[in-house]
Amino acid sequence: MNIFIPLIAGVLVGYVLRRKERRVNVDAPMSIALLLLIFFMGVEAGKVKIDALWLLSSSIVFAALTIAGSVGIALLVGGRG
Amino acid sequence: MRFLVYVLVALITGILTGHFYAPEFGNLYEVMLYLLILIIGIDLGQSFRLAEIRKLGRLAIKLPLGTLLGSLLGGLAASLLLGIELRWGLAVAAGCGWYSLTGPLIAQYSAVYGTLGFLANLTREIFTVLLYPVAIGKMRKELAVSMGGATTMDTTLPIMTKFGGSEVALIAFVHGFVLTALVPFVVPFILQLLAGG
């Protein structure tokens, strides 16, 4: 899976920077890249043609209930802390 | 909080652009994703300590399995609520936010439910982006990772790192990785198991 390539490369770069005690602040580039990614995600979502209100409302119900189910089980296995 | 407004503006602008102009950006989305993953890797490499992995312990396995089980329970509830055949509802839910895989897998059997699989999981990803910053105010931030499902190793990892801190990045990545390994098996399994022969 090629998602590992930039991740491992980044970890190595970060580790080298840490060893050299030259910490780089990645907050700003991460925010910019994240906003661009969300914009592109929105573009893809906007292209989807929704013919029926049913499809949209069903998607929202599924998304909300699957999130609620996952979070509920997470609270059971991990505790409320 | 101001950043969340920027996120909303970026999302709405993107949706409007996609809806009215439907532009093709080629592989810019993937390039941006890989750039983000690289930046996250640098952040992890700079701040990560081996002792932190040990701190994850059993949670590294329990949390993604709990996420999958919770998703299926949510899918069961949604199916009953909407009057959708269980086979489709559970397959949609088993996608755990991985819309680009779930949609096409289900569409092999039904175009309508394939579209639902795509849109429901895309909505889950969008909800995670919007709600994770709010959820961590109410619960432990590493447990709130579960809302992102399989997307926590890539597309929602940045938002979790941004709001939860680099210590959440590790559990989010492991959580997403385990689910990414499971979902391609679970969705077809459900579709075939409940196909009725």
For the four alpha carbons of A14, A19, A20 and A23, in that order, the dihedral sign comes to positive
Pair (B126, B166) in one structural domain: yes
Mean pLDDT computed over every residue of chain B: 86
Chain A residue whose CA is closest to B92: A62
CB A78 within 8 A of CB B55: no
pLDDT at B156: 92
According to DSSP, residue B39 is labeled: H
pLDDT at B49: 65
Pair (B14, B25) in one structural domain: yes
How many domains, in total, are found in chain B? 2
pLDDT at B196: 59
Region B107-133 average pLDDT: 88
Q: Nearest-CA distance from B10 to chain A in Å?
A: 5
End-to-end CA, chain A: 35
Judged against a pLDDT cut of 50, whether residue A1 lies above it is answered with no
Judged against a pLDDT cut of 50, whether residue B197 lies above it is answered with no
Pair (B120, B36) in one structural domain: no
Judged against a pLDDT cut of 70, whether residue B97 lies above it is answered with yes
Pick from B30, B150, B99, B121: nearest CA to A36: B30
Tell me, yes or no, if the pTM score tops 0.80: no
Q: What percent of chain A has pLDDT over 70?
A: 86
Pair (B33, B58) in one structural domain: no
Nearest to B45 among A15, A64, A66 (CB): A15
> With an 8 Å Cβ cutoff, is B100 touching chain A?
no
Mean pLDDT computed over every residue of chain A: 84
CB A38 within 8 A of CB B7: yes
Region A50-63 average pLDDT: 85
Pair (B43, B68) in one structural domain: no
Pair (B37, B79) in one structural domain: no
DSSP conformation letters of A10-79: HHHHHHHHHHTT-----HHHHHHHHHHHHHHHHHHHHHS----HHHHHHHHHHHHHHHHHHHHHHHHHH-
Region B179-194 average pLDDT: 86
Pair (B42, B79) in one structural domain: no
Region A55-64 average pLDDT: 94
Digit-coded pLDDT (tens) for B35-55: 887 887 888 788 766 665 566
Say how many residues make up chain A: 81
Pair (B81, B167) in one structural domain: yes
CB B29 within 8 A of CB A44: yes
Q: Distance from CA of residue A35 to its chain's centroid?
A: 11
Extents of the domains making up chain A = 51-80
Region B83-100 average pLDDT: 93
Q: What percent of chain B has pLDDT over 70?
A: 93
Domain ranges, residue B186: 50-194
| B 112-131 near A (Cβ less than 8 A) | 112, 115-116, 118-129, 131
According to DSSP, residue B132 is labeled: H
- Residues from chain A that touch B173, judged by Cβ atoms under 8 A, are 7
Region A17-24 average pLDDT: 87
Query: Per-residue confidence at B104, pLDDT binned at 50, 70, 90?
Result: confident
